[in-house]
Amino acid sequence: MKAILYSGLTANGNYGSSETGQLPIQEELDDLNKQALEAGNIVMGRKTYEIFNDGKVFDGLDVVVVSTESILAEVQTARSPREALDYLNLKGYSSAFIIGGVTLANAFLAQNLIDEMVINIEPYLEEGLKLKSSEGKFQNLQLLGFKEIEKSGIVQLHYKLA
């Protein structure tokens, strides 16, 4: 199964914080939704689920929330990144579409579970956290493509982890 990490980074390379109030713009959400629908599923952490679950955002998707708390009766909960991928693999998906904060992204990266990354470079500067390579080692990426998301100023880079 191919695991695709979809992330937004600030122009200075940081993972922005939802606590500052800077949330994705509609064009970026539309792009996220389009790519998630192609995969048929979406994997996220508990905080991301709580921020974006308005009852409509994830319509038509098999939602998996990675959390040590299994308080979410309405969605599948996985206790680890590996458990989330195993669940989707058993359901017959060929790819997993992963979104969320830096904690979840780094958990998948630390376990070498990401095959591709879609990184949206946001047109603003902000202090924040960083994505980390597996075990802090240098890791090559192969550029698969790039585009601007609907004249939004957001540049999307698509990489394969080499």
Say yes or no to pLDDT of 84 above 70. Answer: yes
Does residue 115 contact residue 97 with C-beta atoms inside 8 Å?
Answer: no
Tokens standing for residue 85 = 């991928």
Say yes or no to pLDDT of 42 above 70. Answer: yes
The region of weakest confidence among 49-53, 69-73, 76-80, 134-138 is 69-73
| Range 36-39, long-range pairs (CB < 8 A, 24+ positions) | 36/6, 36/61, 36/97, 36/99, 37/61, 38/97, 39/4, 39/93, 39/95, 39/96, 39/97
Q: How confident is the model at residue 144 (pLDDT cuts 50, 70, 90)?
A: very high
pLDDT mean over 103-108: 94
Rounded to the nearest 5 degrees, what angle is found at the Cα of 76, between the Cα atoms of 65 and 3?
A: 55
- What pLDDT score does 71 carry? 64
**Residue at token pair 């599923």:** 41
More confident residue, 136 or 24: 24
The region of weakest confidence among 66-70, 72-76, 121-125, 143-147 is 72-76
- Does this model's pTM top 0.95? My answer is no
Q: How confident is the model at residue 69 (pLDDT cuts 50, 70, 90)?
A: confident
Say yes or no to pLDDT of 88 above 80. Answer: yes
